[in-house]
Copies of this chain bind each other. A is one copy, B any other.
Amino acid sequence: MRHFLTTEDWHQDELQHVLDRARALKAGASSSALSGKSVALVFFNPSLRTRSSFDIGIAQLGGHPVVLDARAGTWPMEMIEGTVMDGDAEEHVVEAARVLSRYVDMIAIRCFPKFEDWTAEREDPLITAFARHASVPVINMETIVHPCQELALMLALQERLGSVEQKTFLLTWVPHPRPLNTAVANSAVLIASKFGMNVRMLVPDEAYRLDERYMSAAEQECARHGTRFDVKTDIKAAYSGAHVVYAKSWGALPFYGQWENEAPYRAKGAGFMVDEAKLAMTDKAVVSHCLPMRRNVKIADAVVDSPAFLGIEEAENRLHVQKAMMEALSRDMDGCG
């Protein structure tokens, strides 16, 4: 039995099989992989797109989705074993994982970091505890990485560019009123490097480097493929020759939980919105962004509404890649049964 917690645990060729199957499902192939099965979708944070695409995908595979809204605060859950539970948490993840495993055949979880203590949160404690105690496959619907988004992005790139190998992928930090989770940024460098792309990050300051876990994973993947991994603070150097521009905003980890001190660093990226002038420096790059997306703050309307923009395709692909992944996990599950 396998989980899908992060693409780091999966080989490129395994993921490529999932992508190939997703493309077939998108083209109209049908599957009853979840017939007679139930899948729990546990949301510790709200969601509309993830919730829709999983819910519909499960139904299309013949399964029954059960959406559980466990918003942070309304259902505090203990994650540490051996604790005396005299605080807020009414339930231990051990019981939650064991009981859900009796009811359903697969568990998908969304649980964002709490922006309190990155040292603890970088271990992704809730979903890893769930996976340890569940007896059914666990899927990550976004925690400190967002692996389903990674697959959706890579499918959109392969559909548009054909092979992505040796192409140049630019992850550019873009403005946003607030510091955000690094999950999609972490995921962008993981998937681009794993599939053989040159990976560049454009950040307002070195303070916006991602956690070393993801930086070194990307470096190793680039080394394996003979591609380059660079971090740049100069717009022109970053955009020059890029084939893909992926926009995302995130908070700088050195200021994690004390965001007031991040403001001067954030100000350095005030001009980082993706626009036509910057795109003109690229090698006819396509542009994408996970949704939701603030227009004219992160990406200019002229770009979003141009044929270069892949964001809608990427969002649609969430449905197809998630179906393909659930089918793959379901197959492994039956192998064990």
Contact = CB atoms under 8 A, between A and B. Distances in A.
Q: Chain A's interface: helix, strand, loop or mixed, by majority?
A: mixed
Given A75-B46, A103-B316, A51 B38 contact: no
A85 B295 contact: yes
A104 interface: yes
Given A48-B70, A68-B48, A53 B103 contact: yes
In the complex, which of the residues A66, A81, A293 has the most CB atoms of chain B within 10 Å of its own CB atom?
A66
A119 interface: no
Interface string A59-89: 1100010101010001100100111111001
Contacts of A319: 102-103
Interface string A170-203: 0000000100000000000000000000000000
Given A46-B75, A316-B103, A95 B293 contact: yes
Nearest to A175: B86
A52 B40 contact: yes
A49 interface: yes
B312 A95 contact: yes
A301 interface: yes
A55 interface: yes
A210 B292 CA distance: 37
A102 B316 contact: yes
Interface string A253-290: 00000000000000000000000000000000000000
Contact of A51 (B55, B68, B292): B68
A311 interface: yes
Interface of A: 38, 40, 46, 48-49, 51-53, 55-56, 59-60, 64, 66, 68, 70, 74-75, 78, 81-86, 89-92, 94-96, 98-100, 102-104, 177, 291-297, 301, 311-312, 315-316, 319
16 contacts: A48-B75, A49-B99, A52-B68, A52-B100, A52-B104, A55-B66, A56-B66, A59-B64, A82-B301, A83-B296, A84-B296, A86-B297, A89-B294, A92-B295, A95-B293, A95-B315
Given A46-B75, A52-B68, A56-B104, 16 more contacts: A38-B59, A40-B52, A48-B68, A51-B66, A55-B66, A59-B64, A78-B295, A82-B296, A82-B301, A86-B177, A86-B294, A90-B294, A91-B293, A92-B293, A102-B315, A102-B319
